[in-house]
Chain A
Amino acid sequence: MLVHSRTGKWTLWVLFLLLFLPLFALPLLVILAASFAGHWSGVLPSDFTTAHYTAATSGESLQALITSLVTAVTASLLALAVGTWGALGAHALPRPLRRVLDALFVLPVAVPSVVVGLAVLVAFSQPPVLLNGTRWIVILAHTVLVTAFAYQSVSAAVLRLDPAYEQAAASLGARPAYVLWRVRLPLLLPSLTAAAGLCFALSMGELSATMMLYPPDWVPLPVQIYAATDRGSLFTGSALAVVLMAATLLVLFAVARIRTRASYR
């Protein structure tokens, strides 16, 4: 406890709430309120309705939600596979080479997502690989963007892994592939699921690279939200945003449950 006096504590707490509530809690509440509002031209919204949700969960918007979910799941799984392989491979290398691999895998975080989008667009609109206009160009860009995060969290976990387990398994005659499959990957499972959740959330909300790439028949939810607000339908946009947040949270919650079960094994 840093402050002991009663008035001192209360001053700090009031100051905390005065900063925290309007800055962080209010925006999310406002989006929630707006998604039910029929009108909002005064202090508070009025004419509450669920019509925006009907619009947000049917037709184009439903399609956009499915598009986002498919993109996020595919990109996360791909990123997890590449990131885990990269992290395990890098761990076995001598230090200078590991540094190089670390830098390569972390670089996409530092490069603006818009530039990743532009680069993927430029590269795959020309031979040898033509992906422009297909859903795969969006999935590829998302995979590149989230692989960095998968790699980082898995490689942090690999470093913490106790080598005694694999050494014991190997000394009992287990082949490297068996050690990997039955010892190392199960031990890594909690951090793998955490990485999967992070990748999924990032991909669900990805807008920058997607805006550069999306074909007309593969419109993810963030782009749909932008399209709605850009034409002035702020309430529909809010309802879509709530759907996006709810979908993300649901999946994160499910992943966290798998994670606790995984860590009890």
Chain B
Amino acid sequence: MTRRLTWALPPALLLAAAFLYPLALVVRQSFRPDTGGTSLQPYTDVLGSVAFREALWTTVWLALAATACCLVLGFFLALVIAFVPFPGAKAVARFVDVFLSFPSFLITLALLFLYGTVGMANGLWTEVTGAASGPFRFLTTPWGILLAEVTYFTPFVMRPLLAAFSQLDTAQVEVAASLGARPGQIVGRVILPEALPALAAGGGLVLVLCLNEFGIVLFTGAKGVTTLPMLVYSKAILESEYPGACVVAVVNVLVSVGLYGLYRVVSRRAGA
């Protein structure tokens, strides 16, 4: 037993030194204002500021909305690929895998060309109507971030769903259909219950990834939209205000780890 423990210790210690120790220092720094001493001053300063409360609210509602959209969209797309297959459906599933290996900020970069002030959509509008400028200006608002997050994270829902669907016995679907169940009933009564663990797993992962998303927000360059990770970055790097950055970081970790823990419990309950 002790031998087994000694074998497992070195990697655990390495990770503790490279990850837990830095995290502990962030917590310590969050109690040490620049004026010196140890106090709750950084917390009262940050938690009382309007910028922080807005960032917290924006982060949470964007993450929840993006997760909900990803679940609905991902379920529909995976359903069509798995149960109403068309020529090339396999290729689409492969494309989804490839999509996952690209970084998130590429989506925002692409959206700049599509819906930016001189992008495709506005170009089309001005050419057709002859107006001086197009109506698409949502890119620098939370809606632009929502669109980018839904685009980037939907494949994270689709992959576990496609894996679950490929293990689903199609005989169940055939039997239900031959007994006269409508497609809507089959989806609701047969497929959805089977898909719940995969939906829970994918949804939880997407929720956490959305709460922690930084690249998408950074690339939109929206001055008015701040999320918690963005606030950590701007406080630490742009303002060199480390205690404040550490406070936001602690709150962000608590929100993410709390929700991640909840997701592990829920998905284990659901049998995932």
Contact = CB atoms under 8 A, between A and B. Distances in A.
Interface of A: 1-4, 8-9, 12-13, 15-16, 19-20, 23-28, 30-31, 33-34, 40-44, 82-83, 85-86, 88-90, 92-94, 97, 101, 104-105, 107-116, 118-124, 140, 143-144, 147, 198, 201, 204-208, 211-212, 222, 225-226, 229-230, 234, 237-238, 241, 244-245, 248-249, 252
A245 B106 contact: yes
Contacts of A82: 11, 14-15
B22 A123 contact: yes
A226 B105 contact: yes
A28 B246 CA distance: 36
A226 B110 contact: no
Contact of A27 (B11, B110, B233, B252): B110
A107 B110 contact: no
Interface in B175-201: 177, 183, 186-187
Interface in B226-250: 228-229, 232-233, 236-237, 242, 245-246, 249
B73 interface: yes
A120 B92 CA distance: 39
B26 A119 contact: yes
Contact of A119 (B8, B120, B249): B249
A207 B105 contact: yes
B249 A118 contact: yes
B214 A114 contact: yes
Interface residues of B, number: 86
20 contacts: A27-B114, A41-B118, A82-B11, A82-B15, A83-B11, A86-B12, A101-B8, A104-B12, A109-B260, A111-B257, A113-B212, A115-B26, A115-B253, A122-B25, A124-B22, A205-B102, A208-B212, A222-B103, A229-B109, A234-B112
B59 to A, nearest CB: 10
Mostly helix, strand, loop or mixed at chain A's interface? helix
A133 to B, nearest CB: 14
B223 interface: no
B10 interface: yes
A34 B113 contact: yes
A206 B105 CA distance: 10
Interface stretch (B41-49, B50-58, B80-88, B136-144): B80-88
B77 interface: yes
B80 A16 contact: yes
Nearest to A94: B1
Contact of B113 (A88, A198, A204, A234): A234
Contacts of B236: 118, 121, 212
A216 to B, nearest CB: 13
Closest 6 CB pairs of A and B: A205-B103, A89-B8, A27-B110, A123-B22, A119-B22, A112-B212
A259 B24 CA distance: 39
Given A1-B83, A118-B245, 9 more contacts: A2-B173, A16-B76, A23-B73, A28-B99, A40-B118, A110-B260, A115-B252, A122-B246, A252-B101
A229 B112 contact: yes
A94 B154 CA distance: 37
- Of the listed residues B21, B80, B177, B237, the one surrounded by the most CB atoms of chain A closer than 10 A to its CB is B80
B5 interface: yes
Contact of B103 (A112, A119, A206, A252): A206
Given A144-B19, A241-B106, A211 B249 contact: no
Contacts of B9: 89
Contact of A234 (B5, B109, B215): B109
B98 interface: yes
- Of the listed residues B1, B25, B73, the one surrounded by the most CB atoms of chain A closer than 10 A to its CB is B25
A104 B15 contact: yes
A105 B114 contact: no
A264 B109 CA distance: 41
- Of the listed residues B92, B173, B211, the one surrounded by the most CB atoms of chain A closer than 10 A to its CB is B92
B270 interface: no
A62 B183 CA distance: 54
Contacts of A118: 26, 232, 236, 245-246, 249
Contact of A12 (B84, B104, B246): B84
Nearest to B245: A118
B206 interface: no
B114 A248 contact: no
Nearest to B9: A89
A147 B15 contact: yes
Contact of B228 (A112, A140, A201, A245): A112
Contacts of B120: 30, 43-44
A98 to B, nearest CB: 9
